Amino acid sequence: MSRLAVGIADVRTGGPGEVLAAVGLGSCVAVAIRDRSRRRGSLAHIMLPQQSDGCRRPGENMRKYADVAVLEAVRALEHIGCRRSDMEAKIAGGASIFDLGRGAECGDIGSRNVEAVIRALEEQGIPLLASDVGGREGRTVEFSVDSGELVVKTVRGARRTL
């Protein structure tokens, strides 16, 4: 099997025999989207829920935002012949790693990322099958495009398959 790394603010697409991996998810969220009929998938490594002012800055990587990255992952799959009606998603990450001292009313970035990802999936009509989100420890994920399994490993050594 071939293993492809998905960096922060990145979206990668793979096919049969490929594993897409995102390392070091803290408050970031990994979104695995798969076309179950065609055995193709995308993995997005999302850093922020949304751009606050709606203006794109020169050179800014927009894939760091949940709404942009989810849409790009879906469109990348459609570009290679996948259909939205056959797509499904799994997510992991969104831990509460940093205390920014702003209080509960601002919400932590991890939970805001999770909420934004779920909203973006709903907007694209992609059902969310499973999640491993929240908590206080980082994760690494490996998404097997063939099987649709998302293996989640925590920094403390726990392992879970979604």
Q: Are 86 and 129 in contact (CB under 8 A)?
A: no
pLDDT value of residue 87: 98
3-state secondary structure of 25: strand
| Residues identified as active-site | 28
In the chain, DSSP assigns E strands to 2-5, 10-14, 18-25, 29-35, 40-46, 87-93, 128-133, 139-144, 150-154, 159-161
What was the pLDDT predicted at 106? 53
Percent of the chain exceeding pLDDT 70 equals 88
Identify the CATH assignment for 2-161 out of 3.40.1390.10, 3.30.1330.200, 3.50.50.60, 3.40.50.300.
3.30.1330.200
Beta bridge partners of 92: 30, 132
Instruction: Provide the residue ranges of all domains of the chain, joining segments of one domain with +.
Output: 2-161
What local confidence, expressed as pLDDT, does residue 142 receive?
Answer: 98
Looking at residue 159, its pLDDT comes to: 96
Q: Show the low-confidence residues of the chain (pLDDT under 70).
A: 52-60, 98-107
Q: What is the pLDDT of residue 101?
A: 54
Structure-token pair, residue 33: 């989207």
Q: Residue 105: its pLDDT value, please?
A: 46
Q: How large is the C-alpha radius of gyration of the chain? A: 15
